[in-house]
Amino acid sequence: MMTTNSTGLYVEATTLSEAIEVEIERLRPLTDTPTSYTMVLCAVLLVSLIFGIGGNASLFGLIVYVRKWVDRAPPEQTSPPPANFTTPCIMLLCLVNLAISVSVAPVIVDYLVGLWLLGEGVCTFYKTVTAGGNIMANFAVAGIAY
């Protein structure tokens, strides 16, 4: 069995215990401890994540519930109601904002650790959701205004 001595040269170990006696060096984290600014920023992002997911999911559920409740009510008019494009746009806006809120979680991990640990797939998901979400949110707001 080959081991290294204090000079760095390989020497033959006569017993297994000599070969196992290797000094283990502790590894330090790759990044520094987050600053107080980073901790405050992550706390704000976490609060916005919680409120974003809760608010958008509850609003979407409320819209679906009210739509089903209105569809069950007996019609009071003889003519069909006018087409309403606002509700689908609000639902689209809720879904887009929900997706953007979910994509905040990897950013919090990135700020705390100091480097991106979540792989290329999550990075692609994050960039796609944020860029596509901003575009879709603009279209949804324009649809509501129309």
Choice between 52 and 75, residue whose per-residue pLDDT is larger: 52
- What would the pLDDT profile of 57-74 be if each residue is shown by its tens digit? 898 888 888 888 777 766
CB 16 within 8 A of CB 1: yes
Residue 17 pLDDT > 70: no
Q: What is the pLDDT of residue 66?
A: 84
Which has the minimum average pLDDT: 22-36, 38-52, 130-144? 22-36
88 and 36 in contact (C-beta within 8 Å)? Answer: no
Report CA-CA distances (Å) from 93 to 107, 118, 139.
22, 27, 9
| pLDDT of 76 | 67
| 94 phi, psi to nearest 5 deg | -65, -45
Sign of CA dihedral 48, 51, 56, 57: positive
Q: What is the mean pLDDT of residues 6-25?
A: 58
Answer for the pair 53, 100: CB distance below 8 angstroms, yes or no: no
Q: What is the pLDDT of residue 140?
A: 85
Q: What is the mean pLDDT of residues 1-23?
A: 56
- Per-residue pLDDT tens digits for 82-138: 667 778 888 888 888 888 888 898 889 888 888 888 889 989 988 999 899 888 888
Q: How confident is the model at residue 45 (pLDDT cuts 50, 70, 90)?
A: very high
Q: From the CB of residue 94, how many other CB atoms can be counted at a distance below 10 Å? A: 20
Q: What is the DSSP string of 106-118?
A: HHHHHHHHSS--S
